[in-house]
Structure 1
Amino acid sequence: MTVPAQRMRAQRLSHPATDVVDLFASVFALQAQDVPAVRLAARARGVRSLDGPLVRTWAMRGTLHLLHEDDLWVVNLLGPTFIAAGRRRRDQLGLTDELCERALPALREVLTEPVDRAELVRRLAEVGIALDPKSQAPAHLLAFAAHSGVLCRGLDDTYRLLRVECEPRGVDELWRRYRRAYGPATRHDFAAWSGLPKRQLGDLPEVADAPAEPTGAVRVLGHFDTYLLGYRDRSAVLDPEHAPLVQTGGGVLTPYVVVDGQVVAVWRRDGGHFAVRPFGERPDIADEVADLGRFLHVDARLTWV
């Protein structure tokens, strides 16, 4: 039994999910600020379609995630933390607390259908909430509204109203779901993944991690895949010597290849051309690249660099 094998199993990378409900019951959420990337993450876990009871909204770390609608309780749990963290920047942009509070009922009034940001800003101006569309103010106001549980953002990048009808749950429940999706992991990893300050974590309950053995699973993962984003300390699966090739800064990861839980290469794509740079011996990834090509509807060609 190894930590990488346990994490691969927890993330459904070695034991693929049967559908979106099965997947999100296990992994809780997938990072989703980039729609093609979240589709790649689902494919690597056995799911080729994101049709289903899923919602794309701001959650952990204040970033866009895809969640099952039954897990929207996390918005009410984490929202106040990120609303407080963003207050200074909102003030700099002229988004006072009074304006933001007025904006919430205004958004409920004008979001009669899914619309893009430009149209939403236009509609808000018509009801007295004027924003400079060329500034960062619209983005920060809409993030405030999302953290307040008022709206979300579809996979087509349109905004629509959100209704959070889940029973409230606490940090202990989020910790349990995190450990199911990422275990073995530490409270420091949990703080980094959730974005919660350590002072809010309290005494977290003991959680047993499911056993797992290596299966030989090979997965080609994208630049926002949660397999690495779920941890502060990634050294159990990513050799620090190779970390600079993957962790290039700005919260973006270079797309990478995992074999039995270990990151063994990075890759890039140009059309149907997949160029892979291994850290050591070349991994046997031909079948995985071919499947990725089928998923992307391209004639996949694998080369080594």
Structure 2
Amino acid sequence: MTDTPELDDRALNRATLERQLLLRRHDLTVPEALTHLVGLQAQVPNPPYLGLWTRLTRFALDDLTELLERREAVRGGMMRGTLHVVTAEDFLALRPVLQPVFERAQRGFFRRATEGLDLAELTAFAAEKLDEKPRNGTELKALLAERWPDRDARQLLYSVQYLLPAVYVPPGGTWGRGGSVPLTTVESWFGRPLPAETDPARMILRYLAAFGPASVKDVQAWSGLTRLAAPIRELRPQLRVFRAAGSGAELFDLPDAPRPGPDTPAPVRLLPEYDNLLVAYADRNRVISDEHRRITNTKNGMVAATVLVDGRVAGRWRLDPGREATAVEFEPFRRLDDTVLAAVHDEATALLALAAPDAPRHEVRVTGVAAGT
């Protein structure tokens, strides 16, 4: 029996960047990219747009907005119980698999608020009201307060948002449109119910295609599901197995998935807030150090927009929509040479052309650590 091959962080980094479409921009349509990536996190409206822009050779903001309006993509609760933009087909196929994530979260946060309440009745009431017409949180909360006047309506609303598979109705939640977005049911939006299939096997294989090689803990961190060791063990005969150098963790992958060499060049890339690359692993050392993660991740769950240099997080950035000029402000975490700074400038300039075409002026500013030589 041969020893299990080892992969160090740099080998994992290049494999991950290739799967995440970040070693080069790809000539894919938006539906093709969303399908490959198994969606993009969308806690706020704009990041999925920028996540697609940084991965595709051709992307305009309307490409995603029109897909949402045509109901071919949708914004709703998915992996980890967080909002994602995914294709309609993936929402319908994967949302039932993820239902235990939402039920566990509801119990964890709102068990006391709903103690003694028939949760099936609660979700059925909310579904009936959302079937009548899309309603935002304020409207639905008022109806819940009227139906259950002795309960905390705000916590009932949160419970419904966890327990009832629902989708957010555009144009709310599209580029530049924040605030309270109306919800409706899956049946109303798609004209068909969610399927009953809850086997996680297909979802695990999809994850490995987009994020592998990865450990059981990585798959669980990405999905929010627990106890995935058993289904992965069943899949093991059709997977390739590696071992992580250092930790020794078993890593699983699809046999024919691309794993570029560790010396493969990796371009500078600007990633949006909550990008897939930074939220999809239990062990994120393949793309970011623990030191830098403490800077980019806040205690309340925020994940900053970041800059990749040679495939790893080397700084963070933000869009500053000033009156005189719209700027990308880049804060490097270490000294960078002029070639890298020029590449960051080029990416930031292209991002500004997409995100703020009507701004009176565009600027790219470097702040924080002294950079260059």
Band of TM-score, shorter chain: 0.7 to 0.9
Q: In the TM superposition, what are the counterparts of 1:248-287 in structure 2 within 5 Å?
A: 248-271=298-321, 272-278=326-332, 279-282=334-337, 283=340, 284-287=343-346
Cα pair 1:289 1:300 within 8 Å, conserved: no
Q: Structure 1: how far apart are the matches of 2:336 and 2:101?
A: 45
Cα 1:237–1:140 shift into 2, 3 Å: same
Q: Which residue number corresponds to residue 293 of structure 1?
A: 352
Partner of 1:35, secondary structure, is: coil
Q: Deviations over 1:186-229 (max 9, x none)?
A: 22111111111136643143123313353442211122111111
Structure 2: state its 5+ residue gaps: 1-9, 173-180, 188-192, 240-253, 368-373
Q: Are positions 1:9 and 2:31 aligned together? A: no
CA distance in structure 1 between the partners assigned to 2:35 and 2:157 by the alignment: 33
The CA deviation string for residues 30-61 of structure 1, in whole angstroms up to 9 with x for no partner, is 11111122222222222433132112221211
- 1:78 is displaced (CA, Å) by 1.5
Cα distance, 1:28–1:280 mapped onto 2, change above 3 Å: same
Following the alignment from structure 1 to structure 2, what is the Cα–Cα distance between the partners of residues 243 and 91?
32
Structure 1 residue 290: Cα displacement: 1.0
| Count of residue pairs the alignment pairs up | 298
The structure 1 residue matched to 2:258, chosen from 210, 231, 237, is 210
Q: What is the letter of the counterpart of residue 304 of structure 1?
A: V
CA distance in 2, matches of 1:121, 1:200: 39
Q: Which moved more, 1:240-249 or 1:223-232?
A: 240-249
Question: Which residue does the alignment assign to 1:62?
Answer: 81
Task: Determine if the alignment matches structure 1 residue 224 to structure 2 residue 248.
Answer: no
* CA–CA distance in structure 1, aligned partners of residues 36 and 299 of structure 2: 28
Measured in 2, the distance between the counterparts of 1:125 and 1:239 equals 46
Match of 2:244 in 1: none
Higher radius of gyration, 1 or 2 = 2
Among all aligned residue pairs of Structure 1 and Structure 2, give the percentage whose two residues are the same amino acid: 24
1:263 positional shift: 1.3
Q: What residue ranges of structure 1 are gaps of 5+ in the alignment? A: none
Q: Indicate which of 160, 163, 178 corresponds to 1:144.
A: 163
1:174 maps to 2:193: no
Amino acid across the alignment from 1:303: R
Aligned residue type for 1:141: V
- Indicate if the aligned counterparts of 1:95 and 1:141 stay in contact, CA closer than 8 A: no
Distance in 2 (alpha carbons) for counterparts of 1:15 and 1:301? 24
Alignment of 1:39-58 (within 5 A): 39-46=49-56, 47-48=59-60, 49-50=63-64, 51-52=66-67, 53-58=72-77
When normalised by structure 2's length, the TM-score is 0.72
| 2:273 counterpart SS class | coil
Amino acid at match of 2:158: A
Q: Structure 2 matches for 1:67-146, cutoff 5 A?
A: 67-71=86-90, 72-94=92-114, 96-98=116-118, 100-111=119-130, 112-124=132-144, 128-130=147-149, 132-133=152-153, 135-146=154-165
Kept after mapping to 1: 8 A contact 2:110/2:159: yes
CA distance in 2, matches of 1:21, 1:95: 42
The CA deviation at 1:96 is 4.2
Given the superposition, is the C-alpha separation of residues 17 and 25 from structure 1 closer, same or farther in structure 2, using an over 3 Å criterion?
Answer: farther
Q: CA RMSD in A?
A: 2.4
Displacement of 1:17 in angstroms is 5.0
Q: Secondary structure at the match of 2:259?
A: coil
CA distance, structure 2, for counterparts of residue 118 and residue 244 of structure 1: 35
